[in-house]
Structure 1
Amino acid sequence: MTRTQEWTVGLELVEDSGRTEAEARLSTGTSTITGHGTARCNPSDVDVPAIGDELAASRAMKDLAGKLMREANREMEAVGAGTVPKHTGPGYGWPEAVS
């Protein structure tokens, strides 16, 4: 069975006094999921708004992706399917320090 859908992601950025806030919205047609991200310029650094935009936007999209994955996991569990392992191996640092 072939199925085609179009989901829309919108991204809004607001910068004020060296702080950038981003909101990423995913609209599936039946629901909306929102992610948030922020970035701020260190007072000792040169203020480059494009960098704040990129950092805040990427953080908002990462937050959105995490929420989408958690929703998919909840729905898989609800129908009795397995989910993606929450921990697939050691992250940063020494493996013996991660339990």
Structure 2
Amino acid sequence: MTTKRWNIGIDITEQDDETYACATLTTADGVNVTGAGRAHRSPADRSIPEVGDEIATARALFRLSHCLNQIAVKKIAPQRHALQEVVELNLPWELPG
């Protein structure tokens, strides 16, 4: 049995009522896969910073998992003689920086 460990780095940035998370994984092939997520706190909500971190991180991990899945689909599609269209995630916002 072979065991592999992949580590994901998550950077979280807060700016006013916005929380941004960027999750990055480097695969065994050396491919960097990144997903980004954002959370916005409504002015009516009480400030609980951990909630913004959790929501933004969950969204970043969701996008990362989607991208990782699409990379795998690209690799297996030719073997199955299937026509696969890989949709890149276009985020409607940019990370502050």
Q: Deviations over 1:30-58 (max 9, x none)?
A: 11100000001001111111000000000
1:60-96 CA-partner distances (Å, limit 9, x unpaired): 00000001111111111022377xxxxxxxxxxxxxx
Give distance in 1, aligned partners of 2:3 and 2:48: 40
Task: Determine if contact 1:10/1:25 at 8 Å carries over to the other structure.
Answer: yes
Structure index of larger Rg: 1
- Provide the residue aligned with 2:10 in structure 1: 11
Unaligned runs of 5+ in 2: 83-97
> CA contact under 8 A between 1:6 and 1:28: conserved in structure 2?
no
Superposed structure 1 runs of 4+ greater than 4 Å apart: none
| 5+ residue gaps, structure 1 | 83-99
Q: How many aligned positions are there?
A: 81
Rounded to whole Å, the distance in 2 between the matches of 1:5 and 1:61 is: 19
The sequence identity of aligned pairs, in percent, is 31
Q: Distance in 2 between matches of 1:8 and 1:79?
A: 29
The match for 2:50 is 50
CA RMSD of aligned residues (A): 1.6
**CA gap 1:81/1:11 in 2 versus in 1, 3 angstroms:** farther
**Matches of 1:81 and 1:53 in 2, distance apart?**
42
Give me the TM-score of the superposition, normalised by structure 1. Answer: 0.74
Q: Which residue of 1 aligns with 2:31?
A: 31
The amino acid that maps onto 2:21 is A
Whether the 8 Å CA contact 1:22–1:57 is kept in 2: the answer is: yes
Q: Is the 8 A contact 1:18 1:49 kept in 2?
A: no
